[in-house]
Amino acid sequence: MNGVVLEVRNIYKKFGNIEILKNLSFSVQKGELISIIGRSGCGKTTLLRCINCLEIFDYGYLRVGEIEIERTNLNLASKNNGFIEEIIEEKAQKIRQKVGMLFQNLNLFPHLTVLENITLAPIVVKKEPKEKAIDNALKLLEKVGLKGYENRYPYQLSGGQSQRVAIARSLAMNPEIMLYDEPTSALDPELIGEVLNVMIDLHQEGMTQIVVTHAMNFAKSASDYVMYMENGEIIEIGKPEKIFGEPNDPRTEAYVRLFKE
Amino acid sequence: MKIERYLFTFIFFLLSLPQLSSKELKVLRWAADAESNAPYIFQDPKIPTNIIGFEVDIVNAIAEILNVETKFVQNQWDGLIPGLYRGDYDIAINGLEITEDRKKEVNFTNPYYITHEQLVVLRGVNYINSLSDLVGRKVGALKNSLAERILRAKGGINVLTYEGEVNAFVDMKNGRIEAVLVDAPIAIYYTAVNPEFVMVGQPIGEISYGIALRKQDTFLLNKLNWAIDKLRKTGKLREILESWNLWNFMMETYFDDFTPSNVPPRKYQYFVEAVGKKSEIAERINLYIKFLPVFFQAALITLGLSLLAMLLAIFVGLIIALARIYGGKIISSLAVTYIETIRGTPLLIQLYLIFYALPSIGIKLSPFLAAILGLGLNYAAYEAEVYRSGFFAIPRGQMEAAISLGMTKFQAIWHIILPQAIRIVIPPVTNDFISLLKDSSLVSVITMIELTKVYNQIASTYYDYLGTGIITAILYLLLGLPFIRIARYFERRLAIERKGNQNINGKVV
């Protein structure tokens, strides 16, 4: 499998009659950091949600680690077939455990402390012993630079701190891939750096990460590859210097030019 | 109440199970409404826990002849006849007039008392002495009583009907009506202790009280008739009626017994003495203090009943809310149907159905259980809607974050959504509990004796609705207050957390 941890092949997704994703294919090697850029509504968030199986695509093939979901014409036609849906949902849940996702909005669980936010899923989903989960959580908090914050409640944190706890929360599940959906767009400018730095640290540790972002400097400097999307299609994937320097496609060029001035 | 009548007819239709009537009678279970005022069945003015009245004496005399024990069962007057068929008691005796309508539903014994309707006016009113004088005037009568029928048959009289005679008398005092026509025993006792009212005119009409029992209990019917006849022959019945000052010319004719009265009306005097004299404030307060234990006990029943009903409502409501939100098409629409049906029908009818109709399909609940079930299942529908709004108040991202951490939907609901929703709904649920506390007074219709019932009983014994009413209101307030405080506390806490959230959200959409 050549270290390919994520494989996406011919994925389609519709909402009602509107095609959001049209025949997307790409793969990600272990340890890569991929930035997805593009205009609002181009389908990049939907793509992330499909990878994390928050939405199940209508047609295509997805592999995360060893878990595969395939939707062919055959089972597309029987979309209302409860049995197939059940199998897919079962696999989807396994995939969700392997994929961590960070959302644009701050959605720590407000009724739980920082520590409880991090340990809940390992204890509930992976049935980890509580002591082990706490141990691990404290290490993760240190890693995201929030040592000593474990007993705070989310309302006592700044936005940047919240996002860093959210990253720790996802990491606690020991994911193979981390997805970020505009992780800094809700933050005050001075808080953006602290979140991005955590991602850069993770990159150095070999975590596979996919980031949907409008932070072009980050995409340019930190990612291994940049993917440009438009109208539900992947227009171009390339090294950042290529995409931001001399992209192949005029549509990519038109977009990145917006950020040059 | 028309609707209740239809309901009862419907219930009788359902009741097809033969009752076990042939078994040896050891305990005579008899029902009445202890709120029905002197001299029928009422609380002893000096010892509120005792039930006295001329009908109590008659039941005891009959039991003595039949050599059986007696057991009193309290039931709302309207429910006396339906209750017979529930099987909680064997006979009902409480000023039940023997009418053709009622005879279709139950058997009556021969009359144990015959009396007439009596006009009562304010002292000093001298222009009313007969039915004819009432034409063109406003006159009060009890609902569905012979008095009402007589007044309506006369024509030209503006008839106002009342649930209880005290309301009619108070209205007369306040000038809303000019006369009241009631059964003579009521008139005798009410005017005796309220000198501002007087009886006027000749006796009007004739009314016979009988003991009601189930149609199929013919053996018991014969026994009772035999006992009543024996009471007549031995003079015991006359003695009872005389002691209550109720022996009258109609009874003389009925019993063919015209000898002069020889028994002093000592029970009548006992009542007049205890209730009649205008007591000083200090005495009144002493009286109230004497009642307090009875009130407290009833308040405890109200509280216990409400707490248990609310627990049920909270639990069932949660299930219904979850079913409605996460249940998929069929389950969700079932939940909606439940909510709409319960919310769209009166609690009173639901209580009647649970108490009187369920036994016909073999489910016979004790009054306490029926009350909890009735109130609890009713409030469950409201709580379900409260929960639903609580669930919707939680941002969708919470569910998604939980799911994306690999939780199942159930785990997400249990660990993430529910704990947050519960905090949001604590204040409204507590408010609902306070209104349940008050709604619990409705369960007196299914023979539960709770706070409001005790209030009515005591108030109607003393014709004192003000002082006892204030005591009752204070007790309800005291019961509800702690819960109002709890609601406030959680509201404040939630407000702090919300404010905190706004801070961190900053410019978050």
**Burial (Cβ within 10 Å: 0-12, 13-18, ≥19) of residue B454:** buried
Q: What ipTM was predicted for this assembly?
A: 0.88
User: According to the 3-state scheme, what is the secondary structure of B6-25?
Assistant: HHHHHHHHHCCCCCCCCCCC
How many other CB atoms are there within 10 angstroms of residue B351's CB atom? 22
B506 chain-A contacts, CB cut-off 8 A: 159, 186-188
Q: How many CB pairs under 8 A join A and B?
A: 91
Q: Is B29 on the interface with A (CB under 8 A)?
A: no
What is the 3 state secondary structure string of A221-234?
HHCCEEEEEECCEE
- Cα A223 to Cα A30, A210, A211, A227, B273: the distances in Å are 13, 9, 9, 10, 100
Looking at residue B5, what is its pLDDT? 55
pLDDT at residue B160 is higher than 60: yes
The predicted model gives B186-204 an average pLDDT of 92
Confidence of residue B1 (pLDDT cuts 50, 70, 90): very low
For all residues of chain B together, what is the average pLDDT? 86
Mean pLDDT of chain A: 89
**Which of A242-256, B33-47, B353-367 tops mean pLDDT?**
A242-256
Query: Could you tell me which residue, B79 or A235, shows the higher pLDDT?
Result: A235
In contact, A59 and A9? CB cutoff 8 Å: no
Chain-chain contact of B406 with A93 (C-beta, under 8 angstroms): yes
pLDDT at B504: 42
> pLDDT value at position B172?
92
Closest CA relative to residue A30, chosen from A4, A50, A2 = A4
A10–chain B Cβ distance below 8 A for any pair: no
Check pLDDT > 80 for residue B17: no
Handedness of CA B467, B468, B471, B474 (dihedral sign): negative
B261 touches chain A (CB under 8 A): no
Residues of chain B with pLDDT > 90, as a percent, come to: 49
Q: Look at residue B500 and tell me whether its pLDDT is greater than 90.
A: no
Is A124's Cβ below 8 Å from some Cβ in B?
yes
What kind of architecture, by CATH, is found in domain B283-505?
Orthogonal Bundle (1.10)
Q: Please answer yes or no on whether A96 and B416 come within 8 Å at the CB atom.
A: no
For chain A, percent of residues with pLDDT exceeding 90: 62
Res. B406: pLDDT tops 50: yes
B384, B339 in Cβ contact below 8 A? Answer: yes
Same fold, B2-112+210-278 and B114-207: yes
Tell me if the pTM is above 0.90. Answer: no
Sorted by sequence, the CB contacts under 8 Å of residue B312 that are 6+ apart come out as B372, B373, B376, B377, B379, B380
3 state DSSP class of A70: strand
Closest CA to B331 of B344, B321, B345: B321
Give residue B11's pLDDT. Answer: 54
Q: Is the dihedral of CA A132, A173, A182, B391 positive or negative?
A: negative
- B2-112+210-278 fold: D-Maltodextrin-Binding Protein; domain 2 (3.40.190)
Mutation choice for B interface testing from A109, A156, A174 by most B CBs within 10 A: A109
Q: What is the pLDDT of residue B260?
A: 80
- Amino acid in the structure at residue B62: I
For the CA atoms of B143, B145, B146, B149, what is the dihedral angle to 10 degrees? 30
Q: Can you give the pLDDT at residue B464?
A: 78
The per-residue pLDDT for B502 is 46
Look up residue B442 and give its two tokens. 């409705």
Question: Given pLDDT bands bounded at 50, 70 and 90, which one contains residue B21?
Answer: very low
- Please tell me chain A's helix, strand, coil percentages from 3-state DSSP, rounded to the nearest 5: 40, 25, 35
Least confident of A168-172, B69-73, B487-491: B487-491
* Span B371-393, average pLDDT: 93
Q: Does B411 touch chain A (CB under 8 A)?
A: yes
pLDDT digits 0-9 by tens, A184-198: 888 888 888 889 999
Domains of chain A (ranges, CATH numbers)? 30-54+99-257 (3.40.50.300)
Q: Which of B180-184, B273-277, B406-410 has the lowest mean pLDDT?
A: B273-277
For A15-33, what is the mean pLDDT?
91
The model's confidence at residue A102, banded by pLDDT at 50, 70 and 90, is very high
Q: What order of strands is seen across the sheet that includes strand A225-230? A: A99-102, A177-181, A208-212, A33-38, A225-230, A233-238
pLDDT confidence of residue B485: 87
Lowest-confidence region among A33-37, B36-40, B153-157, B490-494: B490-494
pLDDT average, residue stretch B301-325: 93
Residue contact B405–A188, C-beta within 8 A: no
pLDDT for position B167: 85
Of B402, B420, B503, the CB nearest to A111: B420
Strand partners, A102: A180
Chain A CB within 8 Å of residue B404 CB: yes
For domain B114-207, the question of CATH label 3.40.190.10 is answered with: yes
Residue with token string 């106002």: B160
Answer with the residue of higher pLDDT: A25 or B7.
A25
Tokens of A188: 């005050």
Domain definitions of chain B by residue range: 2-112+210-278, 114-207, 283-505
How far is the C-alpha of B51 from the C-alpha of B44, rounded, in Å? Answer: 6
In chain A, which among 157-176 make CB contacts under 8 A with chain B? Answer: 157-159, 162, 166, 169-170, 173
Q: Which pLDDT belongs to residue B6? A: 59
**What is the mean predicted confidence (pLDDT) over A69-78?**
67
Q: Residue B19 pLDDT > 60, yes or no? A: no
* pLDDT in the model for residue A78: 52
Say what the pLDDT of residue B24 is.
Answer: 63
Give the per-residue pLDDT at B274: 83
Instruction: Indicate the pLDDT class of residue B18, thresholds 50, 70 and 90.
Output: very low
| B503: pLDDT strictly greater than 60 | no
Q: Going along B93-193, which residue ranges are E strands?
A: 107-108, 113-122, 138-142, 158-162, 179-183
| Residue B332 in this model has a pLDDT that exceeds 70 | yes
A35 vs B81: CA distance, rounded Å? 80
Cβ pair A125:B423 closer than 8 A? no
Mind telling me how many Å the CA of A137 is from chain B's nearest CA? 15
Q: Taking residues B259-287, what's their average pLDDT? A: 81
Give A-chain residues touching B507 at CB under 8 angstroms: 186, 188
- By Cβ distance, the residue of B400, B407, B497 closest to A110 is B497
Task: Note the pLDDT of residue B207.
Answer: 94
Alpha-carbon distance of B91 to A223, in angstroms, equals 90
Mean pLDDT within B243-250: 92
Helix axes B218-234, B54-66, angle to 10 degrees: 110
State the helix-helix crossing angle for B328-344 and B281-326, rounded to 10 degrees. Answer: 160
Contact B407 A111 (CB under 8 A): no
Q: Which two tokens stand for residue A124?
A: 């509930």
> pLDDT class for B286, splitting at 50, 70, 90?
confident
